[in-house]
Amino acid sequence: MVLATVLAVSVLAVSCDGSTGPSSFEPGPLGVVTVHRGEAVSIRSMLSMSVWPSGGAPARHGVELAVRDIGTVRGRPVDLGRALDSACGPEGGRAAAREVVSDPQVAGVIGTSCSAAAVAASPVISQAGYVMVAPSTTSPLLTSDLAGNPNPDYHPGYFRVANNDLYQARALSDFAFNQLGLRRIATVHDGDPYTSALVGAFEAAFAALGGEIPSATSIAKGDTDMTPALGELAAAGPDGIFFPLFEAEGSPFAAQARGFDGLEGVTLISGSALLVSAFLATPQSEGIYFAGPESDFGSNVNEVTGKNGDAVLAAYEAAHGGPPSSPYWAQAYDATTLLLAAIRAVAVEEGGRLYIDRAALRAEIGRTRLQGLIGRISCDDFGDCGTGRINIVHHTDSRVTDVARLPVVYRFVP
């Protein structure tokens, strides 16, 4: 009997991976990730690698650079796994999120690229107790009205370092009304949570300044013949058109608007979804104003890695043969450091095991104050962690396709 007792104690004391136990760690209400001796801390990315690769691929590269620069978390390597493609819609977002939560070892996720994917992914991630930190999803629907009220698609555990589009709407309306002197701006969206919410916010902000929206037109995803929409716009007689579309629809829209009868001389304004190198290289991109995140942050230092923007950008260009096609690579870098720094802060080492409590991780991200490449990152109660700063650039030469080299004509600071 004594021998049997000794053997039982021995089994409890040393597990098969060399960790000692039993553990006294008590997980919170959302569960815990247990990383055994010799294992890596696992995170994942679910970005748009297919539908919007101009935004998703640079973001993935930014994630990879951050993981490389951080190196280890509590002495353990970081396993990024394969890139999950959330595409740029609800089906892709939901599928990627379900794959993430099927693995109990995943501590957190970077994504998604698009708001339409996030609307479907966020509830899956939230209900499973996980966290996601988004680099480029900007729809107000995902967080709040910035006045203390959650919007319909907010779910706990969702955070983003990208700016809420309510900031972009304020920036664009002020620039268009007070700097360009525009008074009648028509709008176009494609029903996407990003485009429709941004257009709605812009319309409200522009009207508050005394501007008029003579036409609010919609197109469908996949449309390439813009004649019906352009005819409606021309009949309204605007002096500007705001069309925050993605490249698949935005490029033909811009090309056809240029030569459409009745729209000669109309000022074209777009958003960050179209602010990508592939579109900037086209002749129809010339003359358009774009609103997007800051991209001139070379001297800013990410306090987690100790790297400044110039150094990380140089590493990006060396690894991928040129500059990023979207400014959101830096947001992805900072999002990854935010997640990994929070994991490091809450992880508990005991008996050779590392315990990452999911509830504690959510709380830690929510209260983190971090200096990143993009500036000071600080999360509010509904997951908005971005700086709120917006640049408006004017693209006049299709030979210039590096977003960081475009002339900034207006800076918005909330």
pLDDT band per the 50, 70, 90 thresholds, residue 13: very low
pLDDT tens digits, residue range 140-181?
999 999 999 999 999 999 999 999 999 999 999 999 999 999
Domain with CATH 3.40.50.2300 in the chain: 32-164+296-388, 166-293+392-412
**Which strand ranges, in their side-by-side order, compose the sheet holding 353-357?**
32-35, 353-357, 348-350
List CB contacts of 78: < 8 A, sequence separation 6 or more.
40, 41, 42, 43, 67, 70, 71, 72, 340
Pairing of strands 185-189, 240-242: parallel
Q: Residue 89 corresponds to which tokens in the numbers above?
A: 């819609």
Phi, then psi, of 82 in degrees rounded to 5: -75, 155
**Dist. CA 7–CA 12, nearest whole Å:** 9
Q: What ranges make up the beta strands (E) of 252-312?
A: 267-270, 289-293
Domain 32-164+296-388 part of CATH 3.30.70.3150: no
Q: Which fold has domain 166-293+392-412?
A: Rossmann fold (3.40.50)
pLDDT tens digits, residue range 77-131?
999 999 999 999 999 999 999 999 999 999 999 999 999 999 999 999 999 999 9
Cis ω for the linkage preceding 323 (within 30 of 0)? no
Query: Is residue 16's pLDDT more than 70?
Result: no
Query: Is residue 406's pLDDT more than 80?
Result: yes
Provide the pLDDT for residue 27.
86
Between 19-23, 150-154, 311-315, 380-384, the lowest mean confidence (pLDDT) is in 19-23
Residue pair 43/264 in contact (Cβ under 8 Å)? The answer is no
Residue pair 342/368 in contact (Cβ under 8 Å)? The answer is yes
Q: What ranges make up the beta strands (E) of 201-359?
A: 216-218, 240-242, 267-270, 289-293, 348-350, 353-357
**Dist. CA 64–CA 397, nearest whole Å:** 32
**Dist. CA 80–CA 243, nearest whole Å:** 36
DSSP string for 35-69? E-TTPPEEEEEEE-SSSSHHHHHHHHHHHHHHHHH
Phi, then psi, of 164 in degrees rounded to 5: -60, 135
Q: Is 5 in a helix, a strand, or coil?
A: helix
Q: State mean pLDDT over 366-384.
A: 97
Residue pair 409/394 in contact (Cβ under 8 Å)? The answer is yes
pLDDT tens digits, residue range 326-369?
999 999 999 999 999 999 999 999 999 999 999 999 999 999 99
Q: Residue 35 corresponds to which tokens in the numbers above?
A: 């990383």
Report the share of the chain in percent with pLDDT over 70.
95
Provide the pLDDT for residue 130.
98
